[in-house]
Amino acid sequence: MIDASTAPAAVAEGPKAPMRLGRIGPLLLIGQLAWAVPGTAGGTLLQSLADDIDPANKIRVITVIAASGAVTSAVGTVVGGRLSDRTRSRIGRRSPWLLASSLVAAVALAACGLTTSLVAIGVLYAAFQLAIGAWVAALSALVPDHVAAEQVGRASSFAGLGYLLGQTVGGVLAGVFVTHPSPGLTLVPWLLVLGAVLIAVLVPAQDNRGVPRAARRAEPRGLVPPVSRDFWLAFTGRFLFILAIVMITQFMLYLFTDYLAMSKKDAGGVLAVATGLVGVLAAVTTVAAGVLSDRLGRKRIFVGGAPLLLAAGLVPLLVAPSLSTVFLFFTTVGLTLGTYLAVDQALMVAVLPDPENAARDLGVLSIGSTLPGVVAPVLGGILVDAAGYTTVFLTSLVLAVAAAAVITRIRSVR
């Protein structure tokens, strides 16, 4: 029986025996890939679907859908993470949430492909993102649950590589289905369920039904994020960096079709190639940065340097936007994401103040990744309508520099 409700008594759960990196690493890769594929493909395919249903208002439609989805994703990370920390079951506290959230997410996104009602699509996509938030919180907590401290950097590389591969595969699938988005939306999300099953089967089951939980009166406090300077600096740095990227990538299909005057079919092909380029470059830098981080015992220089690299790649796009500079930007994104994602999760784990609330706190930090999905569509839509894409590029550059400045102020992590 699975029970995530409140219950009496609060005793720390015993420490987990670390799993071998050769075993947990591939599972982290699979977990990140499993949600990044439908997350990436779904976003582009929804843009295509909105263009088919209401081409005159597609920017506003996607802005509302993306923003509402980001809000529910943020709720899912915090609430789902907290409930995961408190879950008691025969298969532990993470697997039940991975299995349940993957099923809800798959059904919701698949249903988006079966309707032409924009209201229904908005509600379903919000449900998809709510479940994805819970998935990410539970998945992220596998690192402090099962990875030895000296191997967190390399484990983070596996996770980062999985996310990048997922983005690459998702981008390719989006390109394949971009002219027929409905079949793509109904087929792609089931990879998430497969990933959840693999993790649940291959991560050793740890029956924790006898472990007490916090008293009911302590529960509201358990939903309050920690008060820690470095925790919130890490949160802010992640938020600014992801926002800098999402400001541009959120409307990439429209950037090709509206700004560069490409057909939807051609734009889908270019987007698939560009996403593949990002994946290849990021895969190489992810492995290299993760190994170097562990060997040097340093994380901040990698996570703080990545936004500066992104800022450099934005300059040509700002000065002379064209297909060539777009590809140059994607090249920079590949190098940047590889460096950042290889070490970012290790940095986030390092600033956690309480291992017993790992999923909750990692869920809060994950909002730094999802909150840009609320801000970027609104801010980006306003900027595009008011002054065009150039102002979006400039805003992204400023955000990237600000992210680097914030991350370098973290003191508890080298």
The pLDDT score that the predictor gives to residue 171 is: 81
Burial 79-89 (b: 16+ CB within 10 A, else e): bbbbbbbbbbb
Q: What is the pLDDT of residues 18-48, one digit of tens each?
A: 778 778 888 889 998 999 899 889 988 998 9
For the cut 80, the answer to whether the pLDDT of residue 211 exceeds it is no
Q: What is the pLDDT of residues 250-270, one digit of tens each?
A: 777 777 887 777 888 888 788
The pLDDT score that the predictor gives to residue 189 is: 94
Residue pair 84/137 in contact by the 8 Å Cβ criterion? yes
The pLDDT score that the predictor gives to residue 212 is: 63
* H or E, element range at 126: helix 118-140
What mean pLDDT is reported for the chain?
80
Residue appearing with tokens 């971009």: 178
Out of 134-143, 289-298, 318-327, least confident range? 289-298
Assign 351 to helix, strand or coil.
coil
Q: What is the mean pLDDT of residues 11-16?
A: 37
**Does residue 118 or residue 82 have the better pLDDT?**
118
The pLDDT score that the predictor gives to residue 376 is: 80
Name, of 14-28, 88-102, 238-252, 306-320, the range with top average pLDDT.
306-320
Q: What is the mean pLDDT of residues 152-161?
A: 75
Torsion angle, alpha carbons of 263, 38, 382, 308, to 10:
-100
- Beta-carbon neighbour count of residue 119 at 10 Å? 8
What is the band of 103 on the pLDDT scale with cuts at 50, 70, 90? very high
Out of 169-178, 184-193, 204-213, least confident range? 204-213
For the cut 70, the answer to whether the pLDDT of residue 355 exceeds it is no
Residue 230 to residue 268: CA distance in whole angstroms: 41
For the cut 80, the answer to whether the pLDDT of residue 335 exceeds it is yes
Domains and CATH numbers, the chain: 21-207+226-407 (1.20.1250.20)
The pLDDT score that the predictor gives to residue 8 is: 27
Nearest to 35 by CA among 245, 192, 236: 192
Q: In terms of DSSP H, where are the helices of 250-322?
A: 252-254, 264-296, 300-319
Q: What is the pLDDT of residues 217-248, one digit of tens each?
A: 444 444 455 567 888 888 888 899 989 988 88
Residue pair 159/32 in contact by the 8 Å Cβ criterion? yes
Q: What is the mean pLDDT of residues 295-314?
A: 85
Q: For the chain, give the percent of residues with pLDDT over 70.
A: 86
- For residue 88, what are the β-bridge partners? 3
- Beta-carbon neighbour count of residue 8 at 10 Å? 11
What is the band of 198 on the pLDDT scale with cuts at 50, 70, 90? very high
